[in-house]
Amino acid sequence: MADDASNRSGVQLYRTMRRIRTFEERVGELFVRQETAGSMLHLSIGEEGAAVGVGAVLRDGDSFTTHHRGHGIFLARGADPNRMMAEIAGKAAGYCAGKGGSMHIADMALGHLGANAIVGGGIPAVVGAGLSYRHHRKPNVSVAFFGDGALQQGILYESMNMAALWRLPVLFVCINNQYGMGTRIDHAAASLAFDERARSFGLLGEIVDGSDVEAVRQAADSLLAAARGGRAGFLAIDCFRFYGHARMDKSPYRSAEEEAAGRARDPLARQHARLVGDGVASEEDLAAIDSAAAAEMDAAVDFAIAAERPEPAALFRDVYGPDQPPPVPLAERLDRVLGARR
């Protein structure tokens, strides 16, 4: 049996994955209740092992970027679910005062350099962050999280080349959920040996099973240690996206058999079985964790719904410099023009 520290860590991994799963389930409910801002949101249910396995070995002061499916990654790094849910609801209490919504949450205090709805759009930011850490001799790393759709984007390969050439403390993490929107990965790439692509640029490269959160943590720990020493790395994490590309996508492009096989690779179910089987936690212990997560995320939904909407005057706040006069609303400008013609 593992030592007490490892046991506690294994339970914590389960707890964080359960919090993420429950948060995303509640986000889906918020959408159905028409309480979300905008008409698009993307859930990462089934990918919790990737977010938690990597997030568990990042340190204070490290930074990261995420893609449009990044709720779980941010929660794994300590985000407040109340503020996250409020942001998704477009409320003033959200991380970006309701302006970012589901796909553009950021928080510099937690090292979150921003989520990006553009496929691969957040990747080059970590190269800049890594260059800054190297220049200032800081012991930090920057991690780019992206989906398998970004594996066909040129910006990824430019960024990997620069990170390897300049020996930057950077890790590229591909959460391969097998589908870029409705296109299966083996219909988009002739070779699935993505670690070999990374090694051809001079990076360390690995592929790991995302249903095993402890295997993800181990692989990430090794690659991040190397990155802190100036050897950039690439980690592909094989997962299965339980639901469609976006909340309204019923994924008709997947067969019932494929859905069943994919959902059998549930990282929460696997960690649950491991903890109980090894005698680390009882069924009652894990049920208590599940109940606590449900109560926490129910409260986050209530908080988001009750929160105030941004005032119209806040629309241009943080858009223009503090020394610039605020823009004149269109209605006021039209009144001036029409008034001058009377």
H helical segments located in the chain: 4-32, 48-55, 71-76, 81-88, 123-135, 154-165, 194-200, 213-228, 256-263, 267-277, 283-306, 330-341
Arithmetic mean of pLDDT, 294-310:
97
> Quick one: pLDDT at residue 5?
62
Please give the pLDDT value at position 186: 86
The alpha carbons of the chain give a radius of gyration, in whole angstroms, of: 21
Each residue's pLDDT tens digit, 305-319: 999 999 987 888 888
Q: What is the pLDDT of residues 248-273, one digit of tens each?
A: 788 889 999 988 999 999 999 999 99
Sheet holding 142-147, edge to edge: 112-115, 63-66, 142-147, 170-176, 233-238, 204-209
The full DSSP string for 6-65 is: HHHHHHHHHHHHHHHHHHHHHHHHHHHTT-SSSS-----TT-HHHHHHHHTT--TT-EEE
Strands 183-184 and 179-180: antiparallel
Query: What is the reported pTM?
Result: 0.91
Task: Categorize the per-residue pLDDT at 7 as very low, low, confident or very high, splitting at 50, 70 and 90.
Answer: low
- Give the dihedral sign, CA 100/102/103/107: positive
209 exposed, middle or buried (CB, 10 Å; 0-12, 13-18, 19+)?
middle
Residue 304 confidence (pLDDT): 97
pLDDT at 1: 41
Query: For residue range 152-206, what is the model confidence (pLDDT) as tens digits?
Result: 999 999 999 999 999 999 999 999 998 888 888 888 888 889 999 999 999 999 9
Give residue 332's pLDDT: 85
pLDDT beyond 70 at 4: no
What is 4-341's CATH topology? Rossmann fold (3.40.50)
Task: Write down the residue that tokens 């549930």 correspond to.
Answer: 266
Quick: pLDDT tens for 8-42.
799 999 999 999 999 999 999 999 999 998 778 89
* Conformational region of residue 281, where left means phi above 0, alpha means psi within -120 to 50, and beta covers everything else: beta
Percent of the chain, pLDDT > 90? 76
- Sketch the domain layout of the chain as residue ranges: 4-341
The values of phi and psi at residue 328, to 5°, are -85, 125
CA distance 82 to 303: 6
Give CA–CA dist 193/206, Å, rounded. Answer: 9
For residue 119, the SS3 value is: coil
Residue 51, pLDDT score = 97
Buried (b) or exposed (e) across 282-299, using 16+ Cβ within 10 A?
eeeebeebbeebeeebee
Residue 139 CB neighbours (<10 A): 11
Instruction: Reply yes or no on whether the pLDDT at 342 is more than 60.
Output: no
Q: Across all residues in the chain, what is the average pLDDT?
A: 93
For 157, 319, 330, the CA distances from 323, given in Å and listed in that order, are 39, 12, 21
Written as six digits, the tokens of 259 are: 């859905």
- Residue 220, CA distances (Å) to 2, 102, 247 in order: 20, 26, 29
* Pair type for strands 142-147 and 112-115: unpaired
Of the pLDDT bands very low, low, confident and very high (cuts 50, 70, 90), residue 79 is very high
Q: How many other β-carbons are positioned within 10 Å of the β-carbon of residue 257?
A: 8
pLDDT of residue 328: 81
pLDDT 10s digits, 151-164: 999 999 999 999 99
Is the pLDDT at 247 greater than 80? The verdict is no
Q: Which of 206, 208, 229, 213 is nearest to 141 (CA)?
A: 229
For residue 119, is pLDDT > 70? yes
